[in-house]
Structure 1
Amino acid sequence: MTDALHVPRNERGVIRVFALSMTDDEARQVKDDPELIAAALGAPVNTDQIEVFPVSDLEGIGLVGYLLEGNAVPMDQLAPDRGKLDKLGGWVMIVFSLAFEDRETVLDPASSLTLIGTYGEGRTDWRATETVDADSAQPYSAPTETVRKKPSDAAMSGRIAMIALLILGLLTWAMIWIGG
């Protein structure tokens, strides 16, 4: 049995890769049975956020490519384990943070699971790269009184035309009603 793994509450963007030491038939059973997945991990999990598949399904891209391109794991995180990941055969289990549904969890993986690595998904850096010094960028720099803009000539013409059509329509209706 492997050491227990702690998953902190509200964890985001972490991917755990496990190798499965079992026959193809056993791995297929685990893949198709949420209870077997939870038992293998030793904790309740949302199996919609767990992938179980043979590494051979990744022919052409490989496990490193799948993690890099398919799951946005930065290469600098994969580099130390690249040899292990490239040589890995058989079945793997990929466990995403959302499998724990924001709960603090302690995983007690079965002896048939071997943790290969824990990786963080690449994240966008939303910090500004430049300082904006314009007066209009400063807090509370918006004008305090609102200035009402005068309607354009086209808007005024449209309003006049609508009023004229309304009056003509009312006169026509009145003539038909009175004359009718």
Structure 2
Amino acid sequence: MAKTRTRQPSRRQQKRKPPPSRSRTPAAPWHRTRGWLPWAVGFAVLIGVVLAARSGGDDAQAPGAGGTNPVVGSDLHSLVVDPDDPDTVYIGSHDGVSVSRDGGGSWEPIETLDGADAMGWAFTDDAILVGGHPGLYVSTDGGETFEQRNEGLPNTDVHALGAGPATIYAASPAVGVFVSTDGAAS
């Protein structure tokens, strides 16, 4: 009796099983993960605690109430404390800069920084430097007045500043980092 053989399909002919589907969705881009939210909330709480502690917690006011809090625009970019005087605080926005010389108790605008869009700050022994979209501003009178100094800058869009003993670093999204070794004279 002859054996009948059932022919098995070749491997090529066999249907391949689809790979198992992944149950995990791809990771969202960094700007959608909201990982910055806890930091932003923590920073806001810290500022509120500092302002309340300075005022004793009894007379804390809402921003703009009574004219004691800084009103410099709705898009705040920077908050910096003078390293030589912890009671002097600067806050910068698209519209300008306000300063408090009593630890946040009262605020006044710095007229020479109207529209400065203050984002970056640096302090040297001789000057206070502020960077923004319009360029670099320098004060040599302890922050009372500022003068715009854009001569020699490869780009005036200054987002960040840093200073060493004789060197000033400026960062621009258009050209990267540039350096001055003569106290921002060039």
The structure, 1 or 2, with the larger RCO (C-alpha pairs under 8 Å, 6+ apart) is 1
Q: TM-score, structure 2 length as denominator? A: 0.20
Q: Which has the larger radius of gyration?
A: 1
